[in-house]
Amino acid sequence: MGNPAVRLKIIGMLLILLITGETAWCAGKYDYIDISNPMMKKIPIAVPLFKPISGNTAEIQTSDSGSKQLSNFLGFTGYFKVIDRGAFLIDTAQSDVAIPQYKAWTTVGAEFLVTGAAASQDNQLELELRLFDTINQRQLIGKKYTGHPDDQRKMIRRFCSEIMMLLIGNSGIFDSQITFVSTSGSGNKEIFIAEFDGSDARQITNNKSINLSPDMSSDGKYVAYTSYAGGKPDLYIQSLSDRKISVVDKKGMAISPAWVPGRFELAASLSFSGDPEIYLLTGNGKIINKIIESSGIDLSPSFSPDGKKMAFVSRRAGSPQIYIQDMESGKVDRVTFYGNNNTQPDWSPKGDKIVYTSLDKNVFNIVVISVNGNGAVQLTHGSGDNESPSWSPDGSMIVFSSTREGVSKIYVMTAFGTDQRRLVDLSGQQSEPKWSPNVTN
Amino acid sequence: MRLTSLKIRIPVVLILFVLIAFLPSCAKKKIYSEPGASAAGSNGSRAGGSDSYGSGSGSGGIDEQALKGGAAGYDQAGGAASGSSLGGSRESLVSEDIYFEFDSAVLIPEAREILKTKADWLRSNSGISIIIEGHTDDRGTPEYNIALGDRRAESVRLFLESLGVASSRMNTVSFGEERPADPGQNETAWAKNRRVHIEIAR
């Protein structure tokens, strides 16, 4: 997976063939899921083992691991309930992947069915995946993916994105990643990247110093973070393909980077003038201009999805609070008023909310609030300190860090605060998770 | 609640610092690696329980042995003090940290007194350059704490500058919450971590 050029080639070779004519279905037609309802019923879906076409070992392996991956991906979203295979009424190995016995599936409660068939030879994997509506008895999506066996996960991710687009109305989170800080390597705080579900965590810094606050660019090619590798907190902008690093090494500190959506620019808090202020920088770390200035600390920028506004933390009123600045007019509005310590704003992908960390009664918790400052809802309760919230790219989930089990670890929950669970399985402590945009590559 | 106990604690700790700074015999015995350290290092459950020295032994007097034992696990300050031929002020420049209240970079009166002593020595030792390290407790978010540590270091730098220490001799660095003096999770530890530490530049 290391060489990006090779990866691109493999992906280029991924042929996607539409094997059904039924493409007229749009998201609106399948309004099965009311995603604005926190009490929504999970959609029951059956995912039988993929069928090995010739029965060779590679196919049997894909049959098992592939159907497991697909089930896990869909289950992870919180929208689906994957039905236990033990409940199935039919021997799926004997049935046709293209023509399901719909009745047998509705009887076990499955409203949707995904079938798969794997053909593997000469280091090439052909994966056929189909989604069926078992109640209306029709195929909704059919795709055949061809590529290197290493790209099995990518094929399944892509099919899950199709399912999400059709049933939920957005492409979900399967092409996103999570950057975070972990001490699991050398014991020092280094920057890691994991898949959206916390799997496949890999270390991208190894300077045995202190590295903090990672943020991935919209195109997924760069990660900006704070590093003490030079003895003080500097801003590092690291290319993920060749590991080249641009360093913003000014007097004082350069911290809390946030990329401007869709641009090779980022905002960060720099204190070389004597006071931490927020500056706009090029992706190469050149200062463009100062965008936030007040007496006292200004930091932790987070842009609205259209890049026209920016949330940030300022101490201008005597305690750290969250503000929004209109980038064009420069007009600033205060968002938070309750409590004396509100930090780490993260602007929702839908643009209507900001999630942040709030200190109340001596505990840090995650709170979500409308951008106009109304309707604050606390999402975490009575479970240690909860910090560093970050939205998934579809706005359905929030990743955060928590000390609920002792040392800080990474957790996810739905945007309503439900289904809170551990995400990354690593030793040591993990903190400052940041969910990347979807990056299709 | 924490702030209340802090208000009581800090002055007592600092008064002890100041007293100890004027007692050369004590300094030699590393007592200024601080009563707070002893309390937290040897017995975390004492946190905030008592500000008096004698509560452990019940005698009420300063028990030198107990302090030395307690300080063993805490090598922050005074490690090089014993047998040193250097002047006490150079030692105390490095060993005496400046403490702050929660979420504040404001120099409290005791901090100003300590800094005046440091400035005196720095003025008469003009060849020395220093690094002013700003630190915080781990309450609050990592990036905010770097900014807060930056402000604390800057407060100290500006105050020393106002007392006649040339700006060119001072550098600041903020470590935020990343280098706690005491890793404990209680007010005693947090109070010790909200500090500015001074190092001599090499």
Residue contacts between A and B (CB atoms, under 8 Å): 79
Which of B98, B150, B136, B147 is closest to B119 using CA atoms? B98
Task: For residue B174, give the nearest of A253, A274, A319 by CB distance.
Answer: A253
B183 touches chain A (CB under 8 A): no
3-state secondary structure of A298: strand
Long-range contacts of A270-274 (CB under 8 A, 24+ apart): A270/A235, A271/B147, A271/B150, A271/B154, A274/B154
Considering only CB atoms, which residues of chain A are within 8 Å of chain B? 189, 210, 212-213, 226, 228, 231-233, 252-253, 255-256, 269, 271, 274-276, 296-297, 299-300, 313, 319-320, 340-341, 343-344, 357, 359, 362, 364, 387-388, 431-432
B150 touches chain A (CB under 8 A): yes
Name the one residue in this structure whose structure tokens are 């800057």: B154
Please judge whether A276 and B139 are an interchain contact, meaning their C-beta atoms are less than 8 angstroms apart.
no
Query: In this model, does residue B157 exceed pLDDT 50?
Result: yes
Please judge whether A344 and B173 are an interchain contact, meaning their C-beta atoms are less than 8 angstroms apart.
no
Mutate to test the interface with A, among B144, B161, B170, B202 (most CBs of A within 10 A): B144
Task: For residue B143, give the nearest of A213, A271, A362 by CB distance.
Answer: A213
d(CA A378, CA A400): 13
Radius of gyration of chain A (CA): 23
Task: For residue B141, give the nearest of A269, A296, A343 by CB distance.
Answer: A343
3-state secondary structure of A128: strand
Q: Which CATH class is domain A177-435?
A: mainly beta
Q: Give the nearest chain B residue to A278 (CA atoms).
A: B147
Q: What distance in Å separates residue A342's CA from the closest CA in chain B?
A: 9
With b for 16 or more beta-carbon neighbours within 10 A and e for fewer, the A196-221 pattern comes to: bbbeebeebbebeebbbbbbbbbebb
Cα→Cα distances A254→A31, A55, A236, A265, Å: 46, 57, 9, 15
3-state secondary structure of B21: helix
3-state secondary structure of B126: coil
Mutate to test the interface with A, among B103, B135, B150, B175 (most CBs of A within 10 A): B150
Mutate to test the interface with B, among A191, A299, A429 (most CBs of B within 10 A): A299
Instruction: Render pLDDT for A49-79 as a digit per residue (tens, 0 to 9).
Output: 999 999 999 999 999 999 999 999 999 998 9
Q: Take residue A193 and report the two structure tokens written for it.
A: 């990247």
In chain B, residues with a C-beta closer than 8 Å to the C-beta of A226 are 143, 146
d(CA A173, CA A394): 6
The domain made up of A4-168 is a member of CATH 3.40.50.10070: yes
d(CA A22, CA A263): 37
Which of B73, B75, B76, B91 is closest to B26 using CA atoms? B91
In chain A, residues with a C-beta closer than 8 Å to the C-beta of B133 are none
Task: For residue A271, give the nearest of B103, B142, B150 by CB distance.
Answer: B150
B86 touches chain A (CB under 8 A): no
Degrees, nearest 5: CA angle B4-B7-B11: 160
Instruction: Render pLDDT for B68-84 as a digit per residue (tens, 0 to 9).
Output: 333 333 333 333 333 33
Task: For residue A255, give the nearest of B143, B154, B172 by CB distance.
Answer: B143
Please judge whether B178 and A228 are an interchain contact, meaning their C-beta atoms are less than 8 angstroms apart.
yes
**DSSP states along A44-95:** EEE-PPPEESS--HHHHHHHHHHHHHHHHHHHHTSSEEEPPGGG--S-GGGS
Name the one residue in this structure whose structure tokens are 């920028």: A301
In chain B, residues with a C-beta closer than 8 Å to the C-beta of A267 are none
Task: For residue B143, give the nearest of A212, A319, A341 by CB distance.
Answer: A212
**Ramachandran angles phi, psi of B77, nearest 5°:** -125, 155
Instruction: Indicate if the alpha-carbon torsion angle A331, A336, A341, A344 is positive or negative.
Output: negative
| Angle of helix B35-42 versus helix B2-21 axis, rounded to 10 | 130
Which of A163, A165, A125, A174 is closest to A145 using CA atoms? A125
Please judge whether B146 and A253 are an interchain contact, meaning their C-beta atoms are less than 8 angstroms apart.
yes
Q: What distance in Å separates residue B147's CA from the closest CA in chain A?
A: 7
Model ipTM value: 0.85
Which of A283, A282, A233, A285 is closest to A255 using CA atoms? A233
Q: Taking all residues of chain B, what is their mean pLDDT, rounded to a whole number?
A: 70
For each of the domains in chain B, give its residue range(s) and CATH number, in order of start. Answer: 97-200 (3.30.1330.60)
Cα→Cα distances A83→A47, A66, A87, A260, Å: 7, 16, 7, 41
Q: What distance in Å separates residue B28's CA from the closest CA in chain A?
A: 32
The overall longest dimension of chain B from CA atoms, in Å, is 50
Q: Take residue A20 and report the two structure tokens written for it.
A: 């059904």
Mutate to test the interface with A, among B146, B185, B202 (most CBs of A within 10 A): B146
What pLDDT does A90 receive? Answer: 84
List the strands of the sheet with A386-391, edge to edge: A386-391, A397-402, A409-414, A421-422
Cα→Cα distances A372→A36, A317, A341, Å: 19, 18, 19
Q: Give the nearest chain A residue to B179 (CA atoms).
A: A210
What pLDDT does A381 receive? Answer: 94
In chain A, residues with a C-beta closer than 8 Å to the C-beta of B141 are 300, 343-344, 357, 364, 387-388
Q: Give the nearest chain A residue to B151 (CA atoms).
A: A275
Please judge whether A232 and B173 are an interchain contact, meaning their C-beta atoms are less than 8 angstroms apart.
yes
Instruction: Render pLDDT for A377-429 as a digit per residue (tens, 0 to 9).
Output: 999 998 899 999 999 999 999 999 999 999 999 999 999 999 899 999 999 99
In chain B, residues with a C-beta closer than 8 Å to the C-beta of A233 are 146, 173-174, 176
Q: Is A405 exposed, middle or buried (0-12, 13-18, 19+ CB in 10 A)?
A: exposed
Q: What distance in Å separates residue B104's CA from the closest CA in chain A?
A: 9
Cα→Cα distances A184→A202, A206, A360, A435, A436, Å: 10, 12, 30, 19, 21
| Domain boundaries along the sequence of chain A | 4-168, 177-435
Between β-strands A277-282 and A265-270, what pairing exists: parallel, antiparallel or unpaired?
Answer: antiparallel
pTM listed for this prediction: 0.79
What pLDDT does A37 receive? Answer: 62
Q: Name the percent of chain B lying above pLDDT 70.
A: 56
Instruction: Indicate if the alpha-carbon torsion angle A190, A193, A196, A197 is positive or negative.
Output: negative
Task: For residue A299, give the nearest of B1, B103, B143 by CB distance.
Answer: B143
Task: For residue B146, give the nearest of A189, A255, A274 by CB distance.
Answer: A255
Which of A275, A272, A273, A276 is closest to A299 using CA atoms? A276
What pLDDT does A39 receive? Answer: 64
B147 touches chain A (CB under 8 A): yes
Instruction: Render pLDDT for B104-138 as a digit per residue (tens, 0 to 9).
Output: 999 999 999 999 999 999 999 999 999 999 999 99
In 10 A of CB A279, how many CB atoms? 24
Cβ–Cβ under 8 Å, residues A198 and A179: no
Q: Give the nearest chain A residue to B1 (CA atoms).
A: A362
Cβ–Cβ under 8 Å, residues A115 and A132: yes
| Window from A10-14, B24-28, B110-114, B158-162 with minimum mean pLDDT | B24-28
In chain B, residues with a C-beta closer than 8 Å to the C-beta of A300 are 141, 143-144
What pLDDT does A87 receive? Answer: 87
Beta carbons within 8 Å of A12's beta carbon, 6+ residues apart: none
Please judge whether A276 and B143 are an interchain contact, meaning their C-beta atoms are less than 8 angstroms apart.
no
Mean pLDDT over B10-25 rounds to 45
Question: Would A4-168 and A177-435 be classified into the same CATH topology?
Answer: no
What pLDDT does B78 receive? Answer: 38
**Ramachandran angles phi, psi of A346, nearest 5°:** -135, 120
What pLDDT does A93 receive? Answer: 78
Query: Which residues does chain A have with pLDDT short of 70?
Result: 1-39, 441
What pLDDT does B75 receive? Answer: 37
In chain A, residues with a C-beta closer than 8 Å to the C-beta of B139 are 359, 364
What pLDDT does A94 receive? Answer: 81
Cβ–Cβ under 8 Å, residues A181 and A212: yes
B90 touches chain A (CB under 8 A): no
Q: Which residues of A162-282 form beta strands (DSSP E)?
A: 177-182, 190-195, 202-203, 211-216, 222-227, 234-239, 245-248, 254-259, 265-270, 277-282
